[in-house]
Amino acid sequence: MNEPYVNYEIENGVASIEFYHPKGNSFPTFQLNKLIEIITQLGKNPEARVIVLRSAGDQVFCAGASFDELLLIEDFETGKKFFSGFANLILAMRDCPKFIIGCIEGKVVGGGVGIVAACDYALAMDNASIRLSELSIGIGPFVIEPAISRKIGINAFSELTLNPKEWVSSEWCLAHGFYNKTFGTEEQIKMSTKEFSQQLSRYSPEAMSNLKSILWENAQHWDNIMPQRAAMSGKLVLSEFTKETLNNFKSK
């Protein structure tokens, strides 16, 4: 299993999306766009009443944006487009009228933290620690900040982003509302995810859509914020500090 993919299936009203990339389930732009496309399609598909989002493997849920692609950025427009990837995914998750349940197995880094934050409900393994590493390479988690702060508040977000080399435990995530429940075994999380998603799928689609719109009603201004945040990163990734840091990572 070396080829990246984003696949989905629908069974009994539950759409299950699984993504994979051989480099820590990281996301190059083409794969982000595929995930956005699938979530948008499922949002319009009456056969899918609830969406479950998971990745392959149990060691790393998502390592964030593709580091290989990041290293190739040489101009502002390319940088802004690159950092718009996770912004567009978060907006697609916001706009999807179906509840999205995250099944989180393994560590979560950078943009992956934004994906989990944009899930409407997150079930996680005990090993699902998180880290926002962006500041350590001279940029910041700008485009994912709105989703994270919406979930855990600006103070908890500050704790994460100002300590970019520290892993934060699943216990911390649970206590701060980033995760809804945590589990000790793979069997437990898979069973709980299945039971919870099936339970939701039996409720009124219209009622759930209306409820989701209420839960996200304070996020409608993100359409204006996200391009500005992508521009921040697109500029900083060209800085001498970031270029030097990235090259040091590449040479290791």
Q: List pLDDT tens digits, range 165-221.
A: 999 999 999 999 999 999 999 999 999 999 999 999 999 999 999 999 999 999 999
Task: State both tokens at 234.
Answer: 């697109």
Category of 248 on φ-ψ map: left (φ > 0), alpha (ψ -120 to 50) or beta: alpha
With 0-12 CB in 10 A as exposed, 13-18 as middle and 19+ as buried, what is 78? Answer: middle
The 3-state secondary structure of 6-47, one letter per residue: EEEEEECCEEEEEEECCCCCCECHHHHHHHHHHHHHHHHCCC
Q: List pLDDT tens digits, range 110-133.
A: 999 999 999 999 999 999 999 999
pLDDT band, very low/low/confident/very high, at 149 (cuts 50, 70, 90): very high
Instruction: Please tell me the least confidently modeled range out of 84-88, 150-154, 240-244.
Output: 240-244
pLDDT tops 80 at residue 1: no
pLDDT tops 80 at residue 21: yes
Task: State both tokens at 244.
Answer: 């030097």
Domains, the chain, ranges and CATH? 5-186 (3.90.226.10)
- State the chain's mean pLDDT as an integer: 95
